[in-house]
């Protein structure tokens, strides 16, 4: 074999961006599975790192610790449900159509087995682990309220409302109309479902709009 035919040596260095992203996703998948199986408080970073075959230091560098890792998992899960939705800040669709799109996606997100299992874990452990409650709120309900509040604060949307309630209050009222007590019931009876049909979502949206539109 001539020099010209020799294969190029494999170059050592940092992994490609796609490979690095895949490894982070594998790490988050592993962490999510362990947390759902054992509970947040009972899973150590060492156990997650061992199962995911990464160094504990990697988790600290990438996420800042277990709380940051969980937050990244929740934000990724949320993005997967809403990334293809037209932004509420820019959409020109009628209010009811925009809210129904949001409502259906939200229903799909919160009614998944993993979401409801995590919700139960948070409620069970929050009183002894404030960090868990804070992370869940920051990456979950707060994101939803702020998304809706920005929509309700739009001048063209506000102009269609008869109420003077703040965008923050409107987001709370809308979620109450959309979900009712289903999330609370789900904590005690996993078979009861969460907003079990499109008809329930439509009813909740109609109830909200009837109370706020001119």
Reported as a single tens digit per residue, the pLDDT across 10-50 is: 445 555 777 888 999 999 999 999 999 999 999 999 999 99
Average pLDDT over residues 93-119: 92
Distance between CA 31 and CA 127 in Å, rounded? 22
**What is the chain's length?**
214
Distance between CA 148 and CA 96 in Å, rounded? 13
| CATH number 1.10.357.10 given to 75-212 | yes
Reported as a single tens digit per residue, the pLDDT across 149-188 is: 999 999 999 999 999 999 999 999 999 998 876 666 655 6
Sign of CA dihedral 146, 148, 151, 157: negative
The answer to whether the beta carbons of residues 205 and 178 sit under 8 Å apart is: yes
Average pLDDT over residues 139-143: 94
Q: What is the pLDDT of residue 188?
A: 62
Could you tell me the pLDDT band of residue 5, with boundaries at 50, 70 and 90? Answer: very low
Q: Is 31 helix (H, G, I), strand (E, B) or coil?
A: helix
The answer to whether the beta carbons of residues 63 and 72 sit under 8 Å apart is: yes
* Sequence spans of domains, the chain: 75-212
């Amino acid at each position: 074999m001539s020099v010209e035919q020799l294969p190029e040596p494999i170059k050592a260095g940092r992994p490609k961006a796609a490979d690095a992203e895949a490894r982070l996703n594998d790490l988050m998948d592993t962490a999510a599975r362990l947390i759902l199986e054992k509970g947040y408080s009972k899973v150590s970073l060492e156990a997650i790192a061992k199962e995911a075959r990464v160094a504990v230091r990697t988790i600290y560098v990438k996420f800042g610790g277990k709380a940051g890792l969980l937050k990244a998992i929740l934000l990724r899960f949320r993005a997967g449900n809403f990334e293809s939705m037209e932004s509420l800040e820019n959409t020109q669709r009628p209010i009811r159509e925009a809210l129904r799109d949001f409502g259906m996606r939200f229903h799909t997100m919160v009614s998944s087995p993993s979401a409801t299992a995590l919700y139960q874990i948070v409620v069970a452990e929050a009183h002894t682990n404030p960090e868990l409650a804070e992370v869940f709120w920051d990456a979950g309900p707060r994101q939803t309220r702020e998304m809706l509040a920005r929509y309700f604060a739009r001048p063209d949307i506000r102009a269609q409302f008869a109420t003077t309630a703040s965008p923050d209050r409107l987001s709370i009222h809308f979620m109450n109309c959309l979900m009712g007590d289903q999330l609370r019931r789900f904590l005690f009876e996993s078979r009861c479902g969460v907003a079990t049909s499109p008809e329930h979502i439509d009813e909740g949206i109609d109830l909200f709009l009837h109370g706020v539109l001119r």
